[in-house]
Structure 1
Amino acid sequence: MELESTRDVAARLQETGYLCDEALATVTYLALRMQRPLLLEGEPGTGKTALAEALAESLDLPLIRLQCYEGIDATQALYDWDFPRQILHLRALEAAGRGDVEVEEAEKSLYDARFLLARPVLRALQDSPAVLLVDEVDRADDEFEAFLLEVLSTYQVTIPELGTVKAATPPLVVLTSNRTRELHDALKRRCLYHWIDHPGLEREVEIVRSRAPEVSEALGRQVVTLVQQLRDRHDLQKPPGVAETLDWARALHHLGTTELDLATASVTLGALVKYREDADRVRQALDQMLRA
């Protein structure tokens, strides 16, 4: 973990194309220095997942991602046993004339490390230093939160058949949440917390210039200006995030657009808004917005 200061964090992230403000750079630096998980909340598309990716790139560490979903449990996060290989192992023992091997010895040989399928959390402990991204943790349930809290408190897990696996160096853990539900206080207390909001106009223009340098400055500013106006509307089911801004700017560039006009904007809205009702509302307002 070679980042020496908040300024160093911001500079190294910028080298990967990720632009952050002082507050985010500070909490990221503290997470590194204090070896604490970093919990990022915010609207979809504000750069929470991208921060973990940029950190892994800037630190030259592997990024290990655990995508959360409803019903996920510790098995999907920790480990499983390779059942087909275990069956082949038993057949190999029989073929080798070792059918008389004691039952206890045969069972023990089935739970060797070579048959272990490490899932993201266990891999992060085994391969540390690494960046472990626990994405959309708010989609998981209370039991999974409790499991995560236990692992993040000790950075170790116990596999009954093999013993305890403890990270020599705790991984840098980044948890993201779109706040579809409130996380428990116990998990939040274990983490350093930061809310990532949509960037202001000038910062988003910088982001487009950094992440999509092929897009002209004039077109990028037009796109960002319109997106910023859309976020101020209260009738959209899902206001566009930074990811959608970048997608739209790139789509317009691929069409050879140098200046945003009503016709081109209308036919490329699929890169910006993802609900039919939102697209209809935006089309109705586009002419007035482009004239503003």
Structure 2
Amino acid sequence: MGEFPIYLGAGTVDEEGERIRRRADPPPWRVFAGGPVTPLDRDAPVGRRLPDRARSASYQADEATVRMVNVALHLRRPLLVTGDPGTGKSTLAYAVAHELRLGAVLRWAITSRSTLASGLYHYDAVGRIEAASNRSVEESDIGRFLRLGPLGTAFAPYELPRVLLIDEIDKGDIDLPNELLDIFEVGEYGIPELERIADSTPRVLVRPADHGDRVTIQDGRVGCREFPFVVMTSNGDREFPPAFLRRCVQLDLAQPDPERLRAIVHAQMGAEALAAAHDLIADFLERREQGQLATDQLLNAVYLLHQAGGAAQPDRRELEEAIMRRLTGPA
């Protein structure tokens, strides 16, 4: 039997890197056998920008969040995270990657123009034609003109699960959730440009989305060995099809209560900043009752008062009016 608490939500790194290996065996219907296996750079930064790494290290996960993350990890199912802006939906993916040492987070930011194909891979057909006309490329060099997208990279056959953040899926085309169902179920996809030459060139090296080591693709098919940890965020702007929802683990992130807000401020800026922020936190909670506010608005206000005030401290009320403007409700 495996251990249930793989992700602890403590913000500390599993230095030995063994907890993710102690998951329960997957359910029989969630076993995947893609290959050839690609090593995972577990020491790669979870995000390119320092704030991503800093936020992931100090992310404050409540008990319900920790529980549902572990459910998704054991069941090998995507996690659909809903909640108001600023509740930490996106940061959760970075926090899990940071704690379990699962390397760089693969982020796919969804827009109205996003398609399944754009998330899987990109093929530079023009570049290959130009190279072929100059006789500077062989058929076996086709991998030079292919690059996997974040979705495509996540489902490559890595030795450990990749972390994939599908950000704001509710902004995508109405058919996108249903289009994702197939790859979520079978754990693999084909690249037609490689399938056509599979007899003559069965193995091709292709660049992943995160600029890591190239991935070996066999016979034009890409299939995962370990189902990725997929976090899909939604602001709740629209409903999803029942067929999609039943294949996801669902987590609704509530606005942080006063205790969690204090813990967040302490984790991000320390005890001294927290001691100076009690009035700001109280005012933030009062304003939040009248209209939507995001936690990062509070953090911005605390930072300006505590770190950027200097000798000329800004007026706290004026700062609140400038920084903590309601996102919804009366101005």
- Tell me the SS of whatever aligns to 1:66: strand
For 2:253 and 2:67, how far apart are their aligned partners in 1?
A: 13
Relative to the length of structure 2, the TM-score reads 0.70
- Tell me the SS of whatever aligns to 1:132: strand
C-alpha distance 178-257 of structure 1, shift in aligned 2 (>3 A) = farther
Q: Which residue of 2 aligns with 1:44?
A: 85
C-alpha distance 5-251 of structure 1, shift in aligned 2 (>3 A) = farther
Q: How does 1:212-251 map to 2 (within 5 A)?
A: 212-213=269-270, 216-233=273-290, 236=291, 239-251=292-304
Match of 1:28 among 61, 65, 69: 69
- Tell me the SS of whatever aligns to 1:134: strand
Q: How does 1:1-292 map to 2 (within 5 A)?
A: 4-6=3-5, 9-12=8-11, 16-61=57-102, 62-93=104-135, 109=139, 112-126=142-156, 128=158, 129-162=161-194, 163-213=220-270, 216-233=273-290, 236=291, 239-256=292-309, 263-267=315-319, 269-273=321-325, 281=331
Q: Which has the larger radius of gyration?
A: 1
For 2:186 and 2:150, how far apart are their aligned partners in 1?
A: 16
C-alpha distance 22-117 of structure 1, shift in aligned 2 (>3 A) = same
Unaligned runs of 5+ in 2: 14-55, 195-219
For 2:235 and 2:108, how far apart are their aligned partners in 1?
A: 15
Deviations 1:244-264 (A, max 9, x none): 221221122233379x98x33
CA RMSD of aligned residues (A): 2.9
Q: Which amino acid aligns with 1:92?
A: N
- Tell me the SS of whatever aligns to 1:142: coil
Deviations 1:45-87 (A, max 9, x none): 1011011111111122220001111121123211121234313
Unaligned runs of 5+ in 1: 97-105, 282-292
Relative to the length of structure 1, the TM-score reads 0.79
Could you tell me whether the CA contact under 8 Å between 2:157 and 2:225 is conserved in 1?
Answer: no
For 2:131 and 2:271, how far apart are their aligned partners in 1?
A: 54
- Tell me the SS of whatever aligns to 1:39: strand
For 1:274 and 1:196, how far apart are their aligned partners in 2?
A: 19
For 2:234 and 2:329, how far apart are their aligned partners in 1?
A: 25
Q: Which amino acid aligns with 1:114?
A: R
For 1:26 and 1:274, how far apart are their aligned partners in 2?
A: 31
For 2:327 and 2:73, how far apart are their aligned partners in 1?
A: 39
Could you tell me whether the CA contact under 8 Å between 1:79 and 1:117 is conserved in 2?
Answer: yes
Q: What is the percent sequence identity of the aligned residues?
A: 28
For 1:88 and 1:214, how far apart are their aligned partners in 2?
A: 60
Could you tell me whether the CA contact under 8 Å between 2:122 and 2:146 is conserved in 1?
Answer: yes
Deviations 1:222-262 (A, max 9, x none): 222111111111xx4xx21112221221122233379x98x
Deviations 1:149-186 (A, max 9, x none): 11111221111222210011111001110011112211
C-alpha distance 257-178 of structure 1, shift in aligned 2 (>3 A) = farther
- Tell me the SS of whatever aligns to 2:298: helix
C-alpha distance 13-221 of structure 1, shift in aligned 2 (>3 A) = farther
Could you tell me whether the CA contact under 8 Å between 1:248 and 1:269 is conserved in 2?
Answer: no
For 2:63 and 2:6, how far apart are their aligned partners in 1?
A: 8
How far is the alpha carbon of 1:10 from its aligned partner?
A: 2.5
How far is the alpha carbon of 1:271 from its aligned partner?
A: 3.2
For 2:182 and 2:62, how far apart are their aligned partners in 1?
A: 32
Deviations 1:193-216 (A, max 9, x none): 111010110111111100122752
- Tell me the SS of whatever aligns to 1:232: helix
For 1:196 and 1:160, how far apart are their aligned partners in 2?
A: 40
Instruction: Say which structure is richer in helix.
Output: 1
For 2:3 and 2:302, how far apart are their aligned partners in 1?
A: 35
Q: Which runs of 4+ in 1 moved over 4 A?
A: 12-15, 274-278
How far is the alpha carbon of 1:12 from its aligned partner?
A: 4.4
Q: Which residue of 1 aligns with 2:41?
A: none
Q: Which amino acid aligns with 2:165?
A: L
